[in-house]
Amino acid sequence: MHDTFDILVIGGGINGAGIVRDASGRNLKVCLVEKNAVGSATSSWSTKLIHGGLRYLENYEFRLVRESLKEREVIKTIASEITTPLPFIIPHQKSLRPKWLIKLGLFLYDNIGGKMTIPKSSTINIKEEIPNILKDEFKVGFQYYDLQVDDRKLVELNVEDAKKKGATIIENRKVIDAKRNKNFWEVILDDDTILKSKVLINAAGPWINDVLSEVIKLSSNKSIRLVKGSHIITKSLYNQKKAFTLQNEDNRIIFVIPYKGEFSLIGTTETEVFSPENPKIDESEVDYLLNSVNKYFIKQISRDDVVSSYSGIRPLIEDFKEASKVTRDYIFDLNEEDSLAPLLNIYGGKLTTYRKLAENVLLTLKNHIRANNKNSWTANQKL
């Protein structure tokens, strides 16, 4: 492979997958290199939701929520095979958030994203609508909808589509060195393959700054925080096709979601960690999740009920707030110094906004690559 790619992406999570799909559909020569299998790390350890991020409204992240809700609608259309609209119920708890605040939040959630095919929110009587699940003290609930998704499959579908459009996908290979020239990058893999590319994109997720310092040999001007989110899986706690959004005393929320027919998926936690390698749930996280559920549900669960667990690392942009308040937005760091070949580092991002992120990547690089600017095409073509 001695010809030069237009774009080479390091990292085969959802963002990398979205970028190669979009770029290859604009007739660009694209290559993606992933050190394991595509979609094998953070992008398959999520809460499996395409959602607007109702709780981001509390941090006044209106732009992010609006974009996420619009994307929820797009993904429902282009990935209808792997998404299902799911009702979520927030049991009202007087001591935590007042009714007017939740109603205001849901009103915004229903309307800020424009025209929706997903049902609007409503107030429900818990005893009548979902009897025998929650404790007696919970009488009023607020119901809204989001999408459940097979997160790893979403990555794989994007990659398959990119391949069909001519992208080169290299899995189980690590980039060990990247040399920067005037018009191109020379990228060296661990099997001594040398690839050339006009633009290099670092979409390594939690490993972004490791790749930057150890492989590309540049220092980062953005710091990230690695936040571990852990989930436990139990046998189904109830048999309705409904999910719950449980509020906690620390202002965080926990989801309880029907999972694969016979299980309940419970998550997520937010604990800061210092390495992205091999995240595992720890005892305190298990207790936190069990306690949250036991505060609300009639059926009490213990460690014996946990059939499985998984943890993922979210690379959040450091803005020196507590972990649950750090933005889920994304930031691009475009390095074009001294008329050398450009480097784009992608910080942050979430499953829901991956497609829009990819579109914005190509917009950001428009001075460096002549894309066949069929502008944004990915919103209209099914995966």
What pLDDT is stored for residue 324 in this prediction? 76
What pLDDT is stored for residue 371 in this prediction? 67
pLDDT digits (tens, 9 = 90+) for 84-127: 999 999 999 989 999 999 999 999 999 999 999 999 999 999 99
Can you give the CATH number for the domain in which 16 is found?
3.50.50.60
Residue 193 placed within a domain = yes
Q: Which domain range does residue 359 map to?
A: 4-42+152-223+328-364
Report the alpha-carbon distance of residue 81 to residue 169 in Å, rounded: 24
On whether both 219 and 175 belong to a single domain, the answer is yes
Task: Provide the number of structural domains found in the chain.
Answer: 2
Task: State the SS3 of the chain.
Answer: CCCEEEEEEECCCHHHHHHHHHHHCCCCCEEEECCCCCCCCHHHCCCCEECCCHHHHHHCCHHHHHHHHHHHHHHHHHCHHHEEEEEEEEECCCCCCCHHHHHHHHHHHHHCCCCCCCCCCEEEEHHHHCCCCECCCCCEEEEEEEEEECHHHHHHHHHHHHHHCCCEEECCCCEEEEEECCCCEEEEECCCCEEEEEEEEECCHHHHHHHHHHHCCCCCCCCEEEEEEEEEEEECCCCCCCEEEEECCCCCEEEEEEECCCEEEEECCCEEECCCCCCCCCHHHHHHHHHHHHHHECCCCCHHHEEEEEEEEEEEECCCCCHHHCCCCEEEEEECHHHCCCEEEEEECCHHHHHHHHHHHHHHCCCCCCCCCCCCCCCCCCC
Q: Give backbone dihedrals phi and psi of 297, rounded to 5 degrees, phi first.
A: -90, 145
On whether both 136 and 172 belong to a single domain, the answer is no
pTM: 0.95
Residue 263 placed within a domain = yes
What pLDDT is stored for residue 337 in this prediction? 82
Residue 380 placed within a domain = no
On whether both 241 and 217 belong to a single domain, the answer is no
Q: Residues near 178 by Cβ (< 8 Å), separated by ≥ 6?
A: 185, 186, 187, 188, 200, 215, 216, 217
Can you give the CATH number for the domain in which 100 is found?
3.30.9.10
Q: Which of 296, 320, 344 is the last residue of a domain?
A: 320
On whether both 230 and 315 belong to a single domain, the answer is yes
On whether both 295 and 240 belong to a single domain, the answer is yes
Report the alpha-carbon distance of residue 230 to residue 326 in Å, rounded: 17
Instruction: Give average pLDDT by consecutive 10-residue segment, the chain, 383 residues.
Output: 87 98 96 96 93 92 95 97 97 94 96 95 97 97 97 97 98 98 96 97 96 93 90 96 96 95 96 94 97 98 97 87 78 89 94 96 91 79 95
On whether both 110 and 233 belong to a single domain, the answer is yes
Nearest to 174 by CA among 200, 147, 193: 193
In contact, 82 and 155? CB cutoff 8 Å: no
On whether both 140 and 21 belong to a single domain, the answer is no
What pLDDT is stored for residue 2 in this prediction? 58
On whether both 207 and 298 belong to a single domain, the answer is no
Residue 57 placed within a domain = no
Report the alpha-carbon distance of residue 175 to residue 349 in Å, rounded: 22
On whether both 160 and 287 belong to a single domain, the answer is no
Task: Give the count of beta carbons closer than 10 Å to the beta carbon of residue 111.
Answer: 13
On whether both 228 and 333 belong to a single domain, the answer is no
Residue 336 placed within a domain = yes
Residue 125 placed within a domain = yes
What pLDDT is stored for residue 322 in this prediction? 78
Residue 180 placed within a domain = yes
What pLDDT is stored for residue 339 in this prediction? 83
What pLDDT is stored for residue 148 in this prediction? 97
Residue 269 placed within a domain = yes
On whether both 27 and 156 belong to a single domain, the answer is yes
Q: Residues near 69 by Cβ (< 8 Å), separated by ≥ 6?
A: 52, 109, 112, 113, 114, 116
On whether both 242 and 313 belong to a single domain, the answer is yes
What pLDDT is stored for residue 338 in this prediction? 77
Q: How far is CA 92 from the centre of its chain?
A: 27
